[in-house]
Amino acid sequence: MISHSEKETEEAGLRLGASLRKGDVVSLTGSLGAGKTVLAKGIARALGIREAIVSPTFTLVQEYEGSEKLYHLDLYRLSGEDEFESMGGEEFLYPDGITLIEWAEKIGSMLPESAFHVDIIIKEDGSREITVTGGSHECPFS
């Protein structure tokens, strides 16, 4: 889909979030400022989470309670898979809720086969192209 505003990107997250189930992992990739956290806000809203959703760049993981537990990871500062493993990150790949991972390309080979992959590309006109692939069940962008 193409998003022309933060509101549309958040709405895309809302649509995706409404289709997510306990145990789902969502890989979010895109350049700095592409809208990964904005999309995460929409997913959180779909899960009934009313807290402010911010990028957990400095804490690595934020946990929220909604209709499902939501784990929001930001791996921007991680060096790669070894560091992810040493921090115990693997537990978030098979969650008792839903896991969103920003900068998931840093642990690409560790992601479960059933993960949804969301890629956000900033187009020349400033719009965002949002592509969703993978997943173990239907999503609104399939």
Q: Does residue 142 register a pLDDT over 60?
A: no
Spatial CA neighbour of 35 closest among 101, 130, 125: 130
Q: Does residue 126 register a pLDDT over 60?
A: yes
Give the pLDDT of residue 110: 94
The pLDDT tens digits for 16-33 are: 999 999 999 999 999 999
Give the pLDDT of residue 54: 80
Q: Is 2-134 in CATH node 3.40.50.300? A: yes
Q: What is the mean pLDDT of residues 58-74?
A: 91
Query: pLDDT tier at 39 (50, 70, 90 boundaries)?
Result: very high
Give the pLDDT of residue 56: 67
On whether the CB atoms of residues 114 and 136 are closer than 8 A, the answer is: yes
Q: What is the mean pLDDT of residues 58-76?
A: 91
On whether the CB atoms of residues 133 and 117 are closer than 8 A, the answer is: yes
On whether the CB atoms of residues 27 and 120 are closer than 8 A, the answer is: no
Alpha carbon 119 to its chain's center = 10
The pLDDT tens digits for 73-124 are: 999 988 889 999 998 999 999 889 999 999 999 998 999 999 999 999 999 9
